Amino acid sequence: MTKKLSHKRVTPLTRFYYGAPYYPEHWDAATREQDVQRMVDAGFNVVRMAEFAWDYLEPEEGTFRFDIFDETIARLGASGIATILCTPTPTPPRWLTFAHPDVLRVNADGVVMQHGSRQHVCHTSETFRAYSRAITREMADHYAENPHVVGWQTDNELNCHFSECHCDHCQAAFREFLRAKYEGDIDALNVAWGNAFWALTYRNFDEILTPKSAKPAYANPAHLLDYDRFISWNVTRFQHEQVEILRAANPRWFITHNGIFRHIDYRGSFTEDLDFLGYDIYPFFDPDPQHRPASQSFNLDHARAWSGNFMVPEQQSGPGGQGNYFHDTPEPDEMRRMAYTSIARGADSLMFFRWRTCRFGAEEYWCGIFDHDNVPRRRYKEVQQLGEELKTIGPEVLGTHVRVDVGIAAADMDVYDAHETLSMGLPSPYAVAATVHEFFLNQGYAVGCVHPSDDLSDLKVYIIPHWALINPDWMPHLEAYVENGGLLIIGARTGTKDWNNNVVADPLPGMLQKLAGVRILEYGRQNAPDKRPLGIQYHRASAVLPTEHWYEQLQIMPKTMTIARWEGRHLSRQTAITIRQQGEGTVIYVGTYLSGSILAPLLPLLEELTGLAPLWPDAPAGVHVVVRENEEKRLWFAFNDTDSFSVLQPPVEGTDLITGKPSPKKLYLMRHRVAVIKETLVEAEEQGSEGAEEQGSEGAEEQGSEGAEEQRSKGAEERGSEGAEEQGSERAEERGNESVEEVRQAEVEEKESEGPEA
């Protein structure tokens, strides 16, 4: 790791790697015979191998064999295809678990996991860690001088299926973790956990056990959160031991890991140990084909929020099936379109899972590029097409980052895990972030996910969607963002708990009171919104927008204005949404859960205050646009995610990287089709007096501001709101042409007619 983790961080890769995970140990020589030539014909320059091959590599303790991998690496290398190797520790051989049953995990019910699947061993076990170091060292030393091995993946999808363990090793390690965290002060732990409740007080650290929720009743949220932090610390330690061995063997190797899963802090030491993060993306886990492009886009943006651009070690290529499910089969061009979506949203390398569908085992219906019969069909032809295109596009994306104008707070393990400990049946911060992301995506904005500690300076709008935990260390960062001109939107319940996962003593929203300029007088769960309906109204003449999940009655502080009020039951005409100017920027507080219908009427105000505009204003609904850029160029990706034929006019002149020709005046995109246009930026010293026209026009003409009045009056039809009549008309008619001054005037009139605020 050489740079601070950031959503804008690029990988150090100098080559776009394109290939597939490959399992030569699964196939005989005859089946493998044509593989290398077919990979060459597909444009591959890399494969990934050995993550599940420990039993082959070490068939007996201390006896190692590398023959099939040596041969495969040599054959591939001779044809220009490099290899990424994996430490094979997710699947230890049976001789290990048979000789050392104490390495097996124990679940919360006390059941010992057994050999016959994967991830069944405990990362705390000193015995297992010793074997992990041994196989890693043996592989690293064997391949240290092999010119065809370019990098490593640690383990495989750590914490994918199972993250907890309650064995004796973990009990002891958890106590040591707590002893170190609280510096040996058991009284400090008792206070931090609130152990006065239910007589939970501990006399010393040796009395503490790993928490088991619902055994017999609800566990302490603070205890649970510290246990989740222990899981992350423990798996980070486990990986670090492998990384140290690999770095010592060959410092030139890059090292990655393929996440992203629960109870791992990917913004901490786990990722700082790596050169970049890997992310396995399987869009077809979303069963709705119409929603799938939005969920894939969010998941990729969320992955990038942890540490920046990434590698995709596993990109879905065919249907996947295990247990009681079997995914859709990708339609023609869909596999290619999904791959381009990954590249547009931060992938600096990509591998399709897998090369050939296995004929046996738990993933025998997890289909790859080739079906079970090894016959090349349309998925292989699609892979060939993409491989040819990536010869041009691959090098172009390296060194660029994804443009984000609207940032959504995401990618914090503590926030996510704290919600799980006591969710009250409310949507998770992750789920609400996905909802908000989809709304802005469908409006055509450059939306992404950004952690609060990251660089916020380029964001026009930043949204924190209901983060109960707020780290005090983030506050100066958020305050500076607003003071310097940013627009911050804070969702209900944010800042209501401290970093120990206890409710704060201050009036809510806790440490955000001053920045938001509000206090919460009353809050409540909307358990039956159909029977006790509540809604929000921006103006008396506007529609009442139904809310769900949560309400907050707000008290405004000086210099804070009400911009929307509650309608319904005892809350009628009470403050629901506020706005406050702070320095050069603005803070909006929303006293309910965020949704598209609640956010849509705010869009004209966001544009007025920040200059926010869609990336490609003329793009039809369902055509999603992403920009990757650096100081020298912009790469415009357009995706037809609809079932209809789409025609659109590019907002810039440049080069069509798929055809290699100048970009046409009109693009014609069939279903699942993609366009990639390169816009070369004029060097600063050559701009001179043209800067205002050539560079400024990027915001006005090329990026689609089109003039504030014309843009805001477009309404929902052209910006993809949730319904032209329900939301678009609110934007265009009720709020669409209002200036900030008019908002203030409307507030004054409402105050005069209704008397003083609560």
Tell me whether residue 206 is exposed, middle or buried, using C-beta atoms within 10 angstroms of its C-beta: 0 to 12, 13 to 18, 19 or more: exposed
Range name among 6-20, 439-453, 579-593, 691-705 with the lowest pLDDT average: 691-705
- Does residue 720 have a pLDDT over 70? no
Q: What per-residue confidence (pLDDT) applies to 683?
A: 57
| Amino acid found at 562 | T
**Residue 615 is encoded by which pair of tokens?**
């990336």
Largest CA distance in the chain: 86
Identify the band that residue 246 occupies on the pLDDT scale cut at 50, 70 and 90.
very high
- φ, ψ for residue 321 (rounded to 5)? -150, 135
* C-alpha neighbours within 13 Å on the C-beta side of residue 674: 25
- Does residue 528 have a pLDDT over 50? yes
Report which of 616, 626, 630, 628 is spatially closest to residue 683, judged by C-alpha positions.
630
Beta bridge pairs of residue 647: 668
The beta strand positions in 18-167, using DSSP E, are: 18-21, 46-49, 82-86, 149-153
- Give the chain's mean pLDDT: 91
Beta bridge pairs of residue 297: none
Coil, strand or helix at 433: helix
Q: What per-residue confidence (pLDDT) applies to 446?
A: 98
Q: Are 514 and 483 in contact (CB under 8 A)?
A: no
- Does residue 109 have a pLDDT over 70? yes
State whether the Cα torsion 35-40-44-49 is positive or negative. Answer: positive
Distance (Å, rounded) from C-alpha 561 to C-alpha 555?
Answer: 10
| Amino acid found at 604 | P
- Does residue 131 have a pLDDT over 60? yes
Q: Is 157 a catalytic residue?
A: yes
Q: What is the percent of the chain where pLDDT is above 90?
A: 88
Question: End-to-end alpha-carbon separation of the chain, Å?
Answer: 52
- Does residue 753 have a pLDDT over 80? no
Q: What per-residue confidence (pLDDT) applies to 332?
A: 97
Report which of 654, 650, 651 is spatially closest to residue 681, judged by C-alpha positions.
654
DSSP-derived letter for residue 330 is: P
Mean pLDDT across 242-252 = 98
Q: Is 138 a catalytic residue?
A: no
Report which of 160, 345, 151 is spatially closest to residue 264, judged by C-alpha positions.
160
**Residue 506 is encoded by which pair of tokens?**
């201050």
- Does residue 508 have a pLDDT over 50? yes
Per-residue pLDDT tens digits for 307-347: 999 999 999 999 999 999 999 999 999 999 999 999 999 99
Q: What is the percent of the chain where pLDDT is above 70?
A: 89
Tell me whether residue 204 is exposed, middle or buried, using C-beta atoms within 10 angstroms of its C-beta: 0 to 12, 13 to 18, 19 or more: exposed
- Does residue 752 have a pLDDT over 80? no
Q: Count CB-CB contacts under 10 A for residue 277.
A: 25
Q: How large is the angle between the packed helices 221-249 and 126-143, nearest 10 degrees? A: 30
Distance (Å, rounded) from C-alpha 443 to C-alpha 624?
Answer: 9
Mean pLDDT across 499-523 = 98
Q: What per-residue confidence (pLDDT) applies to 612?
A: 98
Q: What per-residue confidence (pLDDT) applies to 557?
A: 97
Q: What per-residue confidence (pLDDT) applies to 540?
A: 84
Distance (Å, rounded) from C-alpha 439 to C-alpha 320?
Answer: 28
Q: How large is the angle between the packed helices 168-181 and 221-249, nearest 10 degrees? A: 100
Distance (Å, rounded) from C-alpha 178 to C-alpha 673?
Answer: 53
Peptide bond between residue 32 and the one before it cis (omega within 30 degrees of 0): no
Distance (Å, rounded) from C-alpha 700 to C-alpha 697?
Answer: 5
Mean pLDDT across 147-153 = 98
Q: What per-residue confidence (pLDDT) applies to 746?
A: 46
Q: Are 166 and 212 in contact (CB under 8 A)?
A: yes
In 3-state terms, the chain is what percent helix, strand and coil (to 5)? 40, 20, 40
Tell me whether residue 201 is exposed, middle or buried, using C-beta atoms within 10 angstroms of its C-beta: 0 to 12, 13 to 18, 19 or more: middle
> Which residue out of 51, 164, 314, 608 is catalytically annotated?
314
* C-alpha neighbours within 13 Å on the C-beta side of residue 700: 8
* C-alpha neighbours within 13 Å on the C-beta side of residue 654: 23
- Does residue 93 have a pLDDT over 50? yes
**Residue 294 is encoded by which pair of tokens?**
């939005």
Mean pLDDT across 203-231 = 96
State whether the Cα torsion 616-619-625-630 is positive or negative. Answer: negative
Q: What per-residue confidence (pLDDT) applies to 730?
A: 35
Q: What per-residue confidence (pLDDT) applies to 134?
A: 98
Range name among 496-510, 528-542, 570-584 with the lowest pLDDT average: 528-542
Tell me whether residue 614 is exposed, middle or buried, using C-beta atoms within 10 angstroms of its C-beta: 0 to 12, 13 to 18, 19 or more: buried
The side-by-side arrangement of strands in the sheet containing 258-259 is 254-256, 149-153, 82-86, 46-49, 18-21, 347-353, 310-316, 278-279, 258-259
Distance (Å, rounded) from C-alpha 457 to C-alpha 554?
Answer: 29
Tell me whether residue 181 is exposed, middle or buried, using C-beta atoms within 10 angstroms of its C-beta: 0 to 12, 13 to 18, 19 or more: middle
**Residue 685 is encoded by which pair of tokens?**
């010293």
Distance (Å, rounded) from C-alpha 440 to C-alpha 243?
Answer: 39
Spatial CB neighbours of 148, under 8 Å, sequence gap ≥ 6: 73, 74, 76, 77, 81, 82, 83
At which residue do the structure tokens 């357009």 appear? 638
Q: What per-residue confidence (pLDDT) applies to 691?
A: 42
> Which residue out of 51, 58, 157, 679 is catalytically annotated?
157
Q: Are 261 and 164 in contact (CB under 8 A)?
A: no
Tell me whether residue 360 is exposed, middle or buried, using C-beta atoms within 10 angstroms of its C-beta: 0 to 12, 13 to 18, 19 or more: exposed
Distance (Å, rounded) from C-alpha 619 to C-alpha 733?
Answer: 22
Q: Is the pTM of this model over 0.85?
A: yes
Q: What per-residue confidence (pLDDT) applies to 94?
A: 98
Identify the band that residue 98 occupies on the pLDDT scale cut at 50, 70 and 90.
very high
Mean pLDDT across 396-407 = 98
Distance (Å, rounded) from C-alpha 365 to C-alpha 372?
Answer: 9
The secondary element (H helix, E strand) that includes residue 123 is: none
Per-residue pLDDT tens digits for 592-639: 999 999 999 999 999 999 999 999 998 999 999 999 999 999 999 999
- Does residue 428 have a pLDDT over 60? yes
Tell me whether residue 356 is exposed, middle or buried, using C-beta atoms within 10 angstroms of its C-beta: 0 to 12, 13 to 18, 19 or more: buried
Per-residue pLDDT tens digits for 657-708: 999 999 999 999 999 999 999 999 965 444 444 444 444 444 333 333 333 3
Radius of gyration of the chain (CA): 27
Identify the band that residue 541 occupies on the pLDDT scale cut at 50, 70 and 90.
confident
- φ, ψ for residue 379 (rounded to 5)? -65, -40
Per-residue pLDDT tens digits for 49-64: 999 999 999 999 999 9
Distance (Å, rounded) from C-alpha 300 to C-alpha 205?
Answer: 41
Q: Interior CA angle at 536 toward 533 and 537, to 5°?
A: 125
Total number of residues shown for the chain: 758
Distance (Å, rounded) from C-alpha 436 to C-alpha 594?
Answer: 7
Report which of 229, 226, 611, 220 is spatially closest to residue 446, judged by C-alpha positions.
611
